[in-house]
Structure formats: structure tokens, C-alpha cells
Amino acid sequence: MRHLLYSLIGLALSSFLLTGCGTTSAPTESSTNTTDKTVNATTDTTSSSTPGKSSSTARAEQFTRVNFASVQADIAVGSGEHLAALAVLLDVPPENEERFFSLARERYAVLYATPETDAGLMLARLNYAMAADPELGR
Amino acid sequence: MTAVFQDCRLRGLSLFFVLLPGLLCSASLCCAGETDGYQRDLQERARNLQLWQNPMWRALLHMGRSSADESRIDSPKFFLSPEGSHNPAAEGGLTLNSFFQPVEPGREGEHPQCLYPARYSWLNEQLSFDSDLLPEQSCSDLRQWLEAMDPDGITMVFPESYLNNPASMFGHTLLRVEQKNGRSPLLAPSINFAAVTDEKPGIGYALKGLFGGYPGRFSIGLYADQVRAYGALENRDIYEYHLGLSAEETRFLLLHVRELQRATFDYFFIDENCSYQLLALLEVGRPSLDVINKMPFAAVPVDTIRLLTAVPGMLQGVHYRPSRRTVLQGRTVKFSRVQKKIVRSFAVQGQPADRILWNSWNSAEQAEILDAASDLFLYDQAVAIGKNDARAPVFQHLLALRNRLNVDPSPDDFSSPVRPDQGHGTGRAAVGLGSDDGIFFVELGLRPVLHDLMDPGPGYVNGAGIDFLSLRLRYYPEQDQLKVQSVDLLNIVSLAQVDQLVRPISWTARIGLDQMRYAGAGDRLTGRAMAGFGLSMEITDVVSGYGLLTGELLANDRFEDGLNTILGTVAGLRSGLDWWNCIFQARAGYAFFYRDQWLWSLDFIQALDIATDFSLRLRVTREQEFSGPTTETVFSLLWYF
């Protein structure tokens, strides 16, 4: 009994011990793997933060995949920081951004036609819609 | 040597065609001799200019400014010289020589000029390299990378702790690279320094972290990843401090980050942590900052922000980025109980709890409910499984409903609370006078970091406290006796309030020493390790209540086996304004293995803030430990520094 109590209290305490500032406890899907499993600077920078290193489409797909919930929520309402970032990745000029937001909201039901829709499929549908749009398709 | 030779050959092209091939050998010897002479010349000029003692060179090697300081980089492969970590001149000499190395075909990116671009750039600036004698490598990968980085400035990012996670209450810092043509901060590069480990927090993890058991490394990623990890999943508000570094300074800093890909640092949670290493990086961008020397013993992230913001012209602006939970609270703060009930029912079941009422609302009202329900769904999901899975049917249903309303979202207008760097100082010294059952004493206290529930609240997370290495000494003049009254190795309290929408667990944990009173033996210093869980909730706008079940381990030679266990409970009421805090707390526990008996205490504490860094505190305690009941009163003046 006594040793069981000692063990339980010790276990509870040890789980709270300092984590310091350099790690994060949240297990996250990351496009760059920069939080709790650090990899070297070159690998990181050339993999995701370097626009010139991968195609625009690939970067848009990676961004959408990793931030899937936020991007979908923004598309549902036709505004938001993640949707604005997606516009940049899809090379939408600043002057066409409002139209892009409207189009995304209007086509929400098509873009996310099934719960199984993944980032690649959603972007393919979005690109198709943009190409057919008189303003964005120019 | 190939590149040098080729260059010389070009300069002697006409001779080459005129003279016999046999003379080629002597021509190359002549060029090699010229190059050797130039190398010697550079070495001599570097010595004359005392470049190897220059603060910039030392910063590039991550050495302190004192000549006795060694590099904080612990991976030998970062250095060209075996003595490089402690001999900046040896490293400098070899660095200069390495720049003359020939390029290996197909491995241009591995040339020292490309591997050490900040060293090359700075030495070129100081010594004005002759490109005929020391040809500059194109380093195309590096140039392409730098072009993509498009640097224009630096923002220091401070994700503060999440209320229900004070183990990270020290916070975290990282850098965001502002881009000249950047349209979205989410797509900007971020520079992070972190320990490399897959281990989970625990005793071994903490000890290895405290004593440098993990290697730390710099990495560069997408800022969106940091926003998601800290703001959306850990629910930590983020403060973005835009710093006054120029585009050129930022470019140089990035060149140095590039060369740090070969470097690892022993990671120490307390001092050589993320915040410390980022300051060292900023000093490379601008050596005149000289902030590392001003660091206190512990590199608390918010202190590093204070050091930077104190530099004239360094702080250009601050942007507040609320966490998902803060956004949820902001969206629902004016909701009625019925509205909150419907938000929760939507988040859990995807349906309104009261459909008739729901149908009576207009589209704008329904949109506000659905926006809050989506946030709540993602919040609950992150708390439960540590990530967001958008494919959940409830979430899909909520977004589809929301989209059909075709209503613009209400603008989120979140004004920043008091910034963390504007809160009280992290260190605290206290002097107090008191009575211990009628015996007068003087008390001195010292705590290096960080905050307890009675400290001034602005700038800190409400209801969360973490004391680290807190010490109280007492002197009893009548008995001419000085003793250690208590030591907190670590004391964490998190009273995160439950409400209709969120239901976080409150908890506490403490490891330390206290004087405990034993019948017939007087006061004895006793080791204590305690953990507890419970709930906290708002009672009125300014009063909250809490209750926790606790388990405690005591260590003293009065106990059989030297150990004892207490199971108990603690309950209290908290109230406070920006300048005043009050707690009334009752604690009771049953000690099992020594004079099986109940221990209890009643505490009444008031704190009044009389200036930004000064407060007064009154504590009255009536308690019974392993002796009869006693009463103690302490009145203290506290200074935060």
C-alpha cells in the first residue's frame, strides 16, 4: 500500500517536470518538422520555405494538406489568413484576391464534395474553377 | 588548387600559346607562389587588424566576448581547426586558407566559401579579397536559397504559455524572417532553436535537459507550422515583436544560419536554451546589440524580449495573435447561456440543442454560433488527440451549414492584453516581518523565476503560476536562530476555469522542502513532493473557486522508512483586480504512516501592488501539522527585478 502510494505520487510529479522553452509537447503534422524533431537548416529551408525549390503546385498542396482544417474553414466563409496564404501560393495577384475569396466560397460544396476529399483533389477542383473564371482564368 | 590554377592560366593565356608546353610547369609554380604569398599577406593583415579578437568573429564562432570564453558550439565538425572551439585565431587562419581550396567538380556547394558564407562575407568585407588571387565561388544553391528567403527584417515571436500547461510557462521564442515581397506572414520562414529528442517529459527528460544531455540545433521552417503548433493546438497566445534589424543585417544573419547547419549545441533548459541561442544569432546580425552579456543566470524567454526591447530603436511594433481558445472566448463572451448551450451541442453532435430557437435566429446570428462551434470542435479535438482532423463528420457538417448561410464572418477585434514583457520582473526578493505563534521573526525571500498566483497579474496568464528555486530564510531574534523556512525546487499551479464551453483540468505539482512542526521535536526541515488535480470555475466576474484532490509524499527521519504519505484536498476562493489579489484557501489531508492523523491549514492572503515592480503581501495562516494548531502572520514587501 505504502509503496504503491509513493509510486503513484512520484509518477504524477515526474510527468510535470520542466519541459523548457525549446520543445513543444503538441504532436503536430508539420511541413517542415521544425518543432520537436529538429533537422538541419538546409534540409528545412530547401524543403518548404524556399519557393524556388519546389513547384508552386507542390507547395500549395503541402500547405493545404498540413493546414487542412484551417484552409477548409476559411474557404467555407470566404476569408481568412490561411485562404490568403493559399492565394499567394496559387499565384493569385493581389488585385484578384477578393474574387478568389468569393470564388472559393461559392464553390465550397464542389471543392469539398465528399468527406474523403484530400488536399490534392480539392486543389485540382479549385484550379479548374479558377481557370473557368473570367477574371481569375486570364 | 584547380580554380586558382585556371585563373592564373587565363591571365597568362598569350604566354601559354607562345611558350613551350614545358614552361607550363614553371608558370603554375609562379602562380602558386603568388597565391601562397597572397595567403600569407591575408593572414598577416588579419593579425594586424586583430580580426580574430573582433566581436564579430567571436560571434560567428559563438564565443563570449571575453578571451577566456570558449565556443558554445559542441560539434567538432563545425570547426575547421581542432582547436577552433577555444582558439579563434587558429580557426580564423584555417578559414582563410580554406577559401583558396580548389573546387571539386560536382561538389561546388561543399566549398568552404559556400559552407561558411557569413565568415566569407565578413572577412571579404574586412580584407577586400583580390578576386584574381582568391576567386569567389558562385555557390549557386546558396544564392538561390537566399533569393527565395527574400529577407527584409526580423520579428521575434513569443508564444506564451497555455493556461493549462504551465510546464511551458517560461514560454518560447523563435524568429520570423520578414520578406520584401512577402504577402502572407504564414508563408514567411521561421528560425527555431530546439533540443533534438523524441523523449517525453519526465524525470530523465528533465534531468538531461537541465544538464545539457540533448543536442540543440537551429532549423528553418514555415511560420504557418509554428502558428498551428502553438496557436491552434497548444492554445498559446502569440506576440510578434518586429525588430529594427535592416535587410542587410537579416541577410547576414541568414548566411550564418546556413553555416550553422553543421553545428549542434548542448541544450540546457535553464540558460543555454532557445532564447539564449536566438540572442546569440541576433548578435551576429548586429554585434553592437551586445545583449548576451546582459543576460541573467537563467535565460527566461520573456527576459530576452525585455533585453531586446530596451535597445533604443529595436522595437518597431508588436502584433498580437490570439490562440484558438482566446478567439473562441472572444466570440462567445457576449453569448447567453442558451447560445453557449447551442454552440456546444453543435460542436459535439453537429445539431442545435434547441431547433425551434435556432430556426428563429437570422443568418448572421446563426453564422456567429457556427463559427464558434467550429472553433470549439477544433479546440476539443486538439485537447483530446493533439491534432486537428478535418475529416470528422461533425466538422464537415458545421462547415457545410456555415457555407450555405453565405454570411461574412464577424470581424475579430482582439485588442492585445498587457504584453508579457510589460509584466513584473521575473526575479523576486522579499523582506517580511511576522509572528510565529507569538514569536517575532524576520523573513527574507528570493526567487529567480517566475510568477505565483499572488504576484501582480498583468502580463501573465491568469490563474497560472510557476515558482522555480524559491527560497525563504527566517531569523528569530529572541532565539538568535536563522533557519531555512522553505525551498521550492519547483511549484506549479494551474487553475484553468471550466465554463459552459471548455472544461480544462486544474492541477498543481510541487517539489520542495518546508519546516514542519512535530510534537516533541519542534520544527524540522521536511522534503515534500505533491501533485493534485481538480476543477476551477468562475463564481462572479471577479471571484473564482477551485477544488483539488492531492497526494503528497513527505521525507523526514521522524517517519518510519523516512517517508510518509498524505492524501487530501484543497479548496479556495480567488479574487483579484489588476492591482490587488486575494486568496482564501483551506487544506486538509490524512497522514497514513506516522501518528495517523489529520493535517489541516487555513490561509488568508492579500497582495496589493504599489508600483510596477513592488507589492505588499499579508499572509495569515492557522494550521495543524504533526503537533497542535499554530497561528502565523507575515507581512512582506516584495520587489520584482
**Helix, strand, or coil here: A39?**
coil
B119 grid coordinates: 565568415
Residue B63 resides in a domain: yes
What is the rounded end-to-end Cα distance, in angstroms, of chain A?
Answer: 76
Using the structure block, give the residue that is written with the C-alpha cell 493535517.
B599
Tell me how many domains chain A contains.
1
Determine the pLDDT at residue B62.
95
Tens digits of per-residue pLDDT, B395-417? 999 999 999 999 999 887 788 89
CB A127 within 8 A of CB A90: yes
Domain of B582 in residue numbering reads as: 423-640
Q: Is residue A116 part of a domain?
A: yes
Contacts of A102 in chain B (CB under 8 A): none
Among the partner residues A20, A27, A46, nearest to B145 by beta-carbon distance: A46
Tens digit of each residue's pLDDT (9 = 90 or more) over B296-318 = 777 788 999 999 999 999 999 99
In terms of domains, do B46 and B76 share one? yes
Max distance between CA atoms of chain B, in angstroms, equals 110
Q: Is B220 in contact with A49 (Cβ distance < 8 A)?
A: yes
* CA nearest to B262 within chain A: A40
Supply the pLDDT for residue B169. 64
Kindly state the cell numbers that stand for B278.
536566438
Whole-number pLDDT of residue B167: 45
Predicted local distance difference test score (pLDDT) of residue B211: 66
Domain presence at residue B462: yes
What is the pTM for the complete model shown?
Answer: 0.87
Provide the pLDDT for residue B361.
96
Cell numbers linked to B295: 543576460
Whether residue A76 lies within 8 A of chain B, CB to CB, comes out as yes
B107-149 pLDDT, tens per residue? Answer: 889 999 999 999 999 999 999 999 999 999 999 999 999 999 9
For residues B278 and B459, give the distance between their C-alpha atoms in angstroms, rounded to a whole number: 22
Grid cell of B195 as nine digits: 533540443
Q: Which of B405, B437, B469 is the last residue of a domain?
A: B405
| Mean pLDDT along residues B270-291 | 89
Residue B413 in grid coordinates: 477585434
Q: Which of B141, B216, B221 sits opposite A44 (nearest CB)?
A: B221
* Chain A CB within 8 Å of residue B21 CB: no
Same domain, B479 and B608: yes
Give yes or no: residues B392 and B443 share one domain: no
- Rounded to whole angstroms, the Cα distance separating B176 from B191 reads 6
Residue numbers in B near A48 (CB within 8 A): 221-222
Domain membership of residue A11 (yes or no) is no
Give the mean model confidence (pLDDT) for residues B312-338. 94
Is B412 within the bounds of a domain?
A: no
Residue A115 domain boundaries: 43-138
- Of B356, B371, B405, the last residue of a domain is B405
Chain segment B408-449, per-residue pLDDT in tens:
998 877 888 999 999 999 999 999 999 999 999 999 999 998
Residue B413 domain-assigned (yes or no): no
Collect all residues with Cβ–Cβ distance below 8 Å to A8 and sequence separation of at least 6: B551
Cell of A109: 460544396
Percentage above 70 pLDDT, chain B: 91
B408 touches A at CB < 8 Å: yes
- Cα B618 from Cα B472, distance rounded (Å): 15
- Structural domain contains residue A23: no
Q: Residue B626 has what DSSP assignment?
A: B
- Looking at the domain assignment, is residue A105 inside a domain? yes
pLDDT, tens only, B556-605:
998 888 899 999 999 999 998 888 999 999 999 999 877 678 999 999 99
Rounded average pLDDT over B194-203: 69
Q: Which of B167-181, B199-213, B434-448 has the lowest mean pLDDT?
A: B199-213
Contact: B228, A67; criterion CB under 8 Å: yes
pLDDT in tens, A59-90: 999 999 999 999 999 999 999 999 999 999 99
Nearest to A42 by CA among B44, B189, B554, B602: B189
What is the rounded average pLDDT of the residues B194-218? 71
Lowest mean pLDDT: which of A40-54, B23-37, B226-240?
A40-54
Identify which of B104-108, B269-273, B309-313, B463-467 has the greatest average pLDDT: B309-313
* Higher pLDDT pick, B579 / B268: B579
pLDDT above 90 covers what percent of chain B?
A: 75
- B436, B373: one domain: no
Residue B358 clears pLDDT 50, i.e. is over it = yes
Q: Does the pLDDT value for residue B625 go beyond 70? A: yes
B497 within some domain: yes
State the Cα–Cα distance between residues B314 and B244, nearest whole angstrom.
5
Q: Which residue of A has its CA nearest to B510?
A: A13
Q: A20 CB near a chain B CB, below 8 Å?
A: yes
User: Taking the CB of residue A116, how many other CB atoms lie within 10 A of it?
Assistant: 8
DSSP B281-326: HHHHH-GGG--GGG--SS--HHHHHHHHHTSTTTEEEEEEE--HHH
CA B83 to chain centre: 32
Q: pLDDT at position A46, please?
A: 36
The shortest C-alpha distance from A23 to chain B (Å) reads 6
Interior angle at CA B415, CA B409 and CA B421, nearest 5? 140
- Contact by Cβ (8 Å): B337, B353: no
Which uninterrupted H or E stretch holds B287?
Answer: none
In a domain, A86, yes or no: yes
Pairing assessment for the beta strands B439-447 and B563-577 based on DSSP bridges: unpaired
Q: Give pLDDT tens digits for B475-533.
A: 999 999 999 999 999 899 999 999 999 999 999 999 999 999 998 889 999 999 999 99
Return the H-helix or E-strand segment holding B219: strand B214-222
**Average pLDDT of span B149-173:** 80
Residues B86, B215, single domain; the answer is: no
Give the nearest chain B residue to A30 (CA atoms): B225
| Cβ within 8 Å of residue B25, ≥6 positions away | none
* Average pLDDT over all residues of chain B: 89
B157 close contact with A: CB closer than 8 A: no
Residue A38 lies in a domain: no
pLDDT at A54 (0 to 100):
60
Lowest mean pLDDT among A49-63, B37-51, B369-383, B390-404: A49-63
Interface contact B260, partner A, CB < 8 A: yes
In three-state secondary structure terms, B477 is coil
- B238 domain-assigned: yes
- Are B289 and B342 members of one domain? no
In a domain, B416, yes or no: no
A87 in any annotated domain: yes
Q: What pLDDT score was predicted for residue B412?
A: 76
Domain boundary among B277, B293, B321: B321
If one counts the domains in chain B, the total is 4
Given the DSSP bridges, would you call strands B265-267 and B214-222 parallel, antiparallel or unpaired?
Answer: antiparallel
CA contacts within 13 A on the Cβ side of B630: 19
Half-sphere exposure of B364 (CA within 13 A, CB side): 3
Q: Has residue A25 been placed in a domain?
A: no
Residue A127 at interface with chain B, using a CB cutoff of 8 Å: no
Distance of alpha carbon B366 from alpha carbon B364, whole angstroms: 5
d(CA A138, CA A134): 7
Q: Does residue B234 belong to any structural domain of this protein?
A: yes
How confident is the model at residue B64, as a pLDDT? 85
- Is the confidence at residue B80, as pLDDT, over 50? yes
Q: How confident is the model at residue B203 (pLDDT cuts 50, 70, 90)?
A: low
Q: How crowded is the C-beta side of B443, counted as CA atoms within 13 Å?
A: 25
B198: pLDDT strictly greater than 80: no
B306/B351 same-domain check:
no
Residue A114 forms contact with B (CB below 8 Å): no
Residues of chain A found within 8 Å of residue B393, distances taken between Cβ atoms: 115
> Each residue of A26-38: pLDDT tens digit?
333 344 433 233 3
The chain-wide mean pLDDT, for chain A, equals: 74
* Domain shared by B178 and B218, yes or no: yes
What interface predicted TM-score (ipTM) does this complex get? 0.86
pLDDT at B315: 96
